[in-house]
Amino acid sequence: MGGVMLEKIGQINSVVNAFVWGRGMLVIFLGAGMLFTLRTGFFQFKGWKVWMGDTLGALFRDRRVRKVQDYQSISQFQSFCTALAATLGTGNITGVATAIVTGGPGAVFWMWVSAFLGMMTIYAENVLGIKYRYKNSEGAWIGGAMVYMERGLGAKWLAVFFSIFCLCASFGMGNMTQANAIAKGLKATLKIPEQFTGMALMVLVAGVILGGVQRVAMVAEKIVPFMAAFYILGGLLVIVIHYERIPETFLWIFGEAFGLRAVGGGVAGYGVKMAMKMGISRGVFSNEAGLGSSVMAHAASDVSCPQIQGMWGMAEVFIDTIVVCTITALVILTSGVYDPQRCISNIADGVENIDGTTLTGNAFATVFPNGDKFLAISIALFAFATIIGWAYFGERTAAYLFGEHAVFPYKLIYILLLLPGAVLAPKLVWELSDTFNGLMAIPNLTALILLHGEVIRMAKEYKRNRK
């Protein structure tokens, strides 16, 4: 009976998943990004000195960016690191590899497109997130996509749907699937039993998330720069070693993105449609622009200017996708481990291809004798950061739905799920999590489009005042 029910749930989920990550929704993702791109005069391109200078550049000239002014909140840099902690996950490694395997090298180009457009989508999210946030009775900031849906649109029902989807996604995508990725990687490379990894994660995560947003932010501030630098430097070393293949790799990416380059024997690659689908979907999956999730971290910032926090969101997407995902893609494509003919043949024959983790590990192994271990440690760091970041997202949506008294029970359930996630993480959990992750976009993109006039007005106001 249970097996039949699970099968039925799986069938329903497949239909819903095909819709939320289908062609129509991906067009809406791109359309929302294009709307804000056009209305702001291509700010992510023309204004790069402004948003880089007022965010990452400000770290070197303004202590207030790092230092908390309001002790009920977190600093601008801490909010950035907390949001980045949640987005820098297995999608940056295995997700990119999967996109290349399924969609070909051209998928990388469309991943860049989704990221550049997504920079303006997440800008809009965080401008609205700061504008409509409010302080609770204890003086802590309360904000997020659900808040601007309720207070900006007056659509509480939309906010409730978003919160339910986000809460469900936190248990799956933010928790169990990440724990499973860590446990599998450490067992395969370091022979650490999955049960031990699960129990260790329970202790470590509990020590962080039970300390509230200030402790989550403090840990994120330390771990995110380290893990990003660790992975980026390792990836750059692989790319530099294979430097002679860099020009060819970029020609490969651009050629297949537009169907201009054939692969062996005149076979026209994977097709532009598949490259677009995989590149855009993996890009969105990685940086979460349009999902509305990271707004909760940014809304806890002590920043007074909504536009500034919007630009921190832009920096988040830039680092996540344009930098880290590109590093992964170039490592795979320059190392020579990727065999397009084999991938195309396997897809045509319906054969399960080599998984993304193995492919990326093989790429690192061309330079590092223990490339699989390097990758396992990177995945463990990325996934752990995702776990603590998503714990805060889930906590905020639980509080929105059921009140602040629901926060501790939520945290307890979240911690307890890490063990079965590490040991089991059935396929259905992954699939359901992916669906709930995508479902968050429907109410969020609806709100962004309806409120876009406010975002544009505030963007123009900031530009005027800055002059």
pLDDT digits (tens, 9 = 90+) for 177-195: 888 888 888 888 888 898 9
Which has more pLDDT, 10 or 82?
82
Looking at residue 76, its pLDDT comes to 85
Tell me the per-residue pLDDT of 18-43, one tens digit each, with 9 for 90 and over.
787 777 888 888 899 999 999 999 99
Shortest CA distance to 321 belongs to which of 464, 108, 69, 147?
108
pLDDT bracket for residue 138 (50, 70, 90): confident
Q: How many Å separate Cα 451 from the centre of its chain?
A: 23
* Residue 278, pLDDT score: 79
Confidence of residue 425 (pLDDT cuts 50, 70, 90): low
Overall average pLDDT of the 393-410 stretch: 92
The long-range contacts involving 45-49, CB below 8 angstroms and separated by at least 24 positions, are: 45/116
- Count CB-CB contacts under 10 A for residue 109: 20
Q: Contact, 13 vs 19, CB < 8 A?
A: no
What per-residue confidence (pLDDT) applies to 119? 93
In this predicted structure, the answer to whether residue 421 has a pLDDT above a threshold of 90 is: no
pLDDT at 350: 47
Bridge partners, 142 (sequence order): 134
**How much is the mean pLDDT over the chain?**
84
Q: Which domain holds residue 33?
A: 2-466
Query: pLDDT digit string (tens) for 190-243?
Result: 888 989 999 999 999 999 999 888 888 888 888 888 988 999 999 999 999 999
CB atoms within 10 A of CB 179: 29
Rounded to an integer, what is the distance from CA 3 to the centroid of its chain? 32
134-135 and 141-142 beta bridge pairing? antiparallel
Q: Which residue shows structure tokens 């995945």? A: 379
Separation CA 21–CA 179 (nearest Å): 24
Q: Using CA atoms, how far apart are residues 433 and 279, in angstroms rounded to an integer?
A: 20
pLDDT, position 371: 76
Domains identified in the chain, total number: 1
Give residue 269's pLDDT.
47
Q: What is the pLDDT of residues 281-319, one digit of tens each?
A: 778 877 778 888 889 988 888 888 899 999 999 999 999
Residue 267 has pLDDT above 50, yes or no: no
pTM of the model: 0.90
Specify the pLDDT at position 12: 82
Tell me, what CATH number does 6's domain have?
A: 1.20.1740.10
Which residue in 121, 120, 124, 122 sits closest to 44, CA to CA? 120
- Confidence band of 47 (pLDDT split at 50, 70, 90): confident
CA distances from 163 to 14, 62, 132, 291, 399 (A): 22, 35, 16, 11, 10
Q: What pLDDT is stored for residue 263 in this prediction? A: 47
